[in-house]
Amino acid sequence: MAKLEYASSFRDLIVYRKARELSLAIFRLTKRFPTEENYSLTDQIRRSSRSIGAQIAESWAKRRYEKHFVSKLTDSDGEQQETQHWIETAFDCEYISQEEANALLEKCVEIGRLLGGMIAKAEQFCNPSPYQIREEPANYFVKARRKN
């Protein structure tokens, strides 16, 4: 198995790049939505699609704590699934074609798979750097004395 390249920033993550591509595609597509949708469907789908990448970036900052890292990735996956819902709603309202909906949904599913892989392998992302100085953990418990 090939060794994975080290990511020094969330910007190096393929899933982050794909999330940005998706949000840009949705932004461009929603420009043609009717103006009466500006504060409803257009706003909702843009917000959820943009939040996918934002949650990935936030998860990167939380890598010191594996559970926080996984929680933020889970939030990102939730936003990805919400975006799927809004894509289907846009199709139902006949604002986008079946082909456009399918292409966007495929991107969402791919992002979901990548997020799932990161969640499953969170420890690989959260391991401390060998160059980081760590102190020995403090001993918070005192052994109880035995009574004779």
One-letter-per-residue 3-state SS of the chain: CCCCCCCCCHHHCHHHHHHHHHHHHHHHHHCCCCHHHCCCHHHHHHHHHHHHHHHHHHHHHCCCCHHHHHHHHHHHHHHHHHHHHHHHHHHHCCCCCHHHHHHHHHHHHHHHHHHHHHHHCHHHHHCCCCCCCCCCCCCCCCCCCCCC
Query: In this structure, is residue 8 part of a structural domain?
Result: no
Residues 8-24: what's their mean pLDDT?
96
Q: Which amino acid is at 126?
A: C
pTM comes to 0.82
Backbone angles phi, psi at 27, to 5 degrees: -60, -50
* Measured distance CA(116)–CA(127) in Å, rounded: 18
Total domain count, the chain: 1
Neighbours of 84 (CB within 10 A): 18
The pLDDT tens digits of the residues spanning 46-102 come to 999 999 999 999 999 999 999 999 999 999 999 999 999 999 999 999 999 999 999
114 and 15 Cβ atoms separated by less than 8 Å: yes
* Measured distance CA(42)–CA(8) in Å, rounded: 34
Residues 132-144: what's their mean pLDDT?
61
The CATH number linked to 50 is 1.20.1440.60
Q: How confident is the model at residue 1 (pLDDT cuts 50, 70, 90)?
A: very low
Residues 112-130: what's their mean pLDDT?
87
Query: In this structure, is residue 144 part of a structural domain?
Result: no
Query: In this structure, is residue 33 part of a structural domain?
Result: yes
Query: In this structure, is residue 5 part of a structural domain?
Result: no
Query: In this structure, is residue 3 part of a structural domain?
Result: no
Residues 100-119: what's their mean pLDDT?
97
Q: Which domain holds residue 60?
A: 13-126
Q: How confident is the model at residue 30 (pLDDT cuts 50, 70, 90)?
A: very high
Query: In this structure, is residue 29 part of a structural domain?
Result: yes
Q: How confident is the model at residue 134 (pLDDT cuts 50, 70, 90)?
A: low
In the predicted structure, residue 40 carries a pLDDT above the cut 90: yes
